[in-house]
Structure 1
Amino acid sequence: MTSFLHRPLHSSDDLFRRLRGCFPAAEVERAVTAAGVEVLGVRVPRERARDVWEEWRGRHGESGWWPYITLISPTDMAERRAELGRDDGVLEHWVREAVCQDHDATAASILVSACRWAVEEAANVDDDLDLWRSVYDPDRLAPLLQPPVERPLRGVSHWATGTRDFFTEDLRWLHFVAARGGYEVPVLLPFLYTTWNWSGYADRGLTPLDASALLRRWHEQWGAELFFAMGPRLELVVDRPPLDPRGAAQAVAELHAYCIDTVQDSVEAGDTMARSTMWSLWWD
């Protein structure tokens, strides 16, 4: 097994045997991507996907394998076209960068780039540029939001456990990849979800390293954890979402910079999604 700087406490053989023991009637599968990343998975009922994920997330510290929900098998994941051309050296470099990079600085840079693109490229001559800037400036956005709330709003999964759009199958796949946290998944499996197929902002196309930096920042700042990933869709379970206007404004500004397709109304998102326990993102 290729470690990519992270050697899990349990080997893939140990995890595979454990999954078969815990899910004797379920389909259990393992595969290796062209770049050498091992992916293990077990099929679970859709309605139990969140509970099973929570259980195995709680075991991450003892196993070193990060769980996430998706719709495809490990074999299908390993065969995805995006892995072509990604060798061990490339992923070793990416993971090293993901571990060492200043993720707060990267997130700030993404925010600045998004604001510059909005003002210089997307805004019309008649647009209120101050309104455009308020979307990306938490100090301007915070006064437009509702007062603090006492407890997080309840977030609802659209795709991992729901039946929205074409996500109507009764079963989901619970995958495992050797990683320090969900924030490393974008660099280990670069096209598990495909935000970077879209060209992004005119002066900065976002990369797997950008995604890793944002996910790690959100993990440290608000307890956001990668929960579901598939195609142009991503869901994060958020343990400590911001409850006050300033914190919500900061979160929604970064979410808007990352996924303008979902966060189109920053005031609404700042009052709702940013303060909830589930962040569901979708790229058009």
Structure 2
Amino acid sequence: MQPLPSVLAGQPTLGNVQEVVFQSHIVLTFSVAGQEALPVWQQLTEQHGDTGLWPVITGPRPFAPSRVTPVSFAGNLQGPDLIAHWLVGEQEDPELVTEIGPLVLSLEEAQQHAGSVAQDALVPASWQEGVVSNQDWRTRQPYPQVFLALVPTQATWDAPTWLGFGRFNGCPLPAEHHAVLKYWHDQYSLQVMCVTEDMVECRVERPPTEAAQALVLATEQFAYCPDLVHQGCGSVTELAGGLLRSPTWSFWWD
């Protein structure tokens, strides 16, 4: 078994260490006490430059390789092109657009609707407050035990792809996650934090600070994960308000 990063050497709650073997790579997984998951994740990100292993919280259960899709990367796929393609069907339904709000991909067009974006939406005060994959949603308390995976990649946006995440319940393919998350990383300094059975959570170091920018991003996120609106906030403008200055993003496909 390959060695664990040195930061884990003194971790008293470390357990369940195992290797998950893919066709082209190996992912180390382990568990820690739930309240330790976020500090351990942060420490591992700080060692990433030395280890080449990007940490991902996978929730209260071990990573399940039986659910993975064969790993593939984006090739010539580009995030903006995928987003525009996904939106085509949505924009052809005028009733839907009326119901969920404007779908805009340019700042110029977004400026026309920026006044409908709430400027005072409640957002997490810190990225630690925004994470949910480490806790029981019913109690908002950390799980007794939380699992993490160490993904062999230099690029945080590649973590879902290396884990074979996607192709279920309308979830994008692994290669599509690569393209879209890289695009957002370049714009907003996104870091993938959590990849559970049906959710991706990200830390964002440069979130949008202007309403028009947030509205474009909300449209992009709706294309990537329609349930954010359909099962969540109800409109793209509401989603945009929640993205303003928010240090975390969550996506789910259930």
Tell me whether 1:82 sits opposite 2:68 in the alignment: yes
Cα pair 1:40 1:175 within 8 Å, conserved: yes
**Alignment map for 1:180-191 (pairs within 5 Å):** 180-191=154-165
Q: Secondary structure at the match of 2:213?
A: helix
CA distance in 2, matches of 1:36, 1:166: 39
Instruction: Give the CA deviation at 1:33.
Output: 2.5
Cα pair 1:40 1:176 within 8 Å, conserved: yes
**Alignment map for 1:33-112 (pairs within 5 Å):** 33-71=21-59, 72-73=61-62, 76-78=63-65, 80-82=66-68, 86=70, 91=71, 94-95=72-73, 97=74, 101=76, 106-112=78-84
Higher strand proportion: 2
Matched length: 242
CA distance in 1, matches of 2:212, 2:185: 18
Instruction: Give the CA deviation at 1:228.
Output: 0.8
CA distance in 1, matches of 2:169, 2:68: 14
- Listed one character per residue, the Cα deviations across residues 23-52 of structure 1 (whole Å, up to 9, x for unaligned) are 255214121324142111231222222221
In structure 2, relative to structure 1, the CA distance for the partners of 1:128 and 1:262 (3 Å cut) is: closer
State the one-letter code of the partner of 2:164.
P
**Alignment map for 1:133-152 (pairs within 5 Å):** 134-138=102-106, 139-140=109-110, 141-146=113-118
State the one-letter code of the partner of 2:43.
E
Cα pair 1:186 1:211 within 8 Å, conserved: yes
Cα pair 1:232 1:283 within 8 Å, conserved: yes
CA distance in 1, matches of 2:124, 2:206: 8
State the one-letter code of the partner of 1:277.
P
Match of 1:257 in 2: 223
Structure 2 unaligned segments of length 5 or more: list them. Answer: none
Cα pair 1:70 1:172 within 8 Å, conserved: yes
Instruction: Give the CA deviation at 1:110.
Output: 2.4
**Aligned pair partner of 2:177 in 211, 229, 245:** 211
CA distance in 2, matches of 1:20, 1:133: 47
In structure 2, relative to structure 1, the CA distance for the partners of 1:154 and 1:38 (3 Å cut) is: same
Cα pair 2:58 2:147 within 8 Å, conserved: yes
State the one-letter code of the partner of 1:32.
V
- Listed one character per residue, the Cα deviations across residues 101-146 of structure 1 (whole Å, up to 9, x for unaligned) are 46xxx222223223310132xx26xx28577682233423434324
Cα pair 2:103 2:219 within 8 Å, conserved: yes
Higher helix proportion: 1
Cα pair 1:107 1:254 within 8 Å, conserved: no
CA distance in 2, matches of 1:270, 1:226: 20
**Aligned pair partner of 2:168 in 188, 197, 210:** 197
In structure 2, relative to structure 1, the CA distance for the partners of 1:234 and 1:129 (3 Å cut) is: closer
Instruction: Give the CA deviation at 1:221.
Output: 0.9
State the one-letter code of the partner of 1:162.
Q
Match of 1:15 in 2: 4
In structure 2, relative to structure 1, the CA distance for the partners of 1:116 and 1:25 (3 Å cut) is: closer
- Listed one character per residue, the Cα deviations across residues 242-264 of structure 1 (whole Å, up to 9, x for unaligned) are 11112212221111111110134
**Aligned pair partner of 2:90 in 105, 108, 118:** 118
CA distance in 1, matches of 2:87, 2:176: 16
State the one-letter code of the partner of 2:183.
R
User: What RMSD in Å do the two structures reach over aligned CA positions?
Assistant: 3.1
Cα pair 2:58 2:197 within 8 Å, conserved: no
TM-score in terms of structure 2 length? 0.81
CA distance in 2, matches of 1:48, 1:249: 35
Match of 1:175 in 2: 149
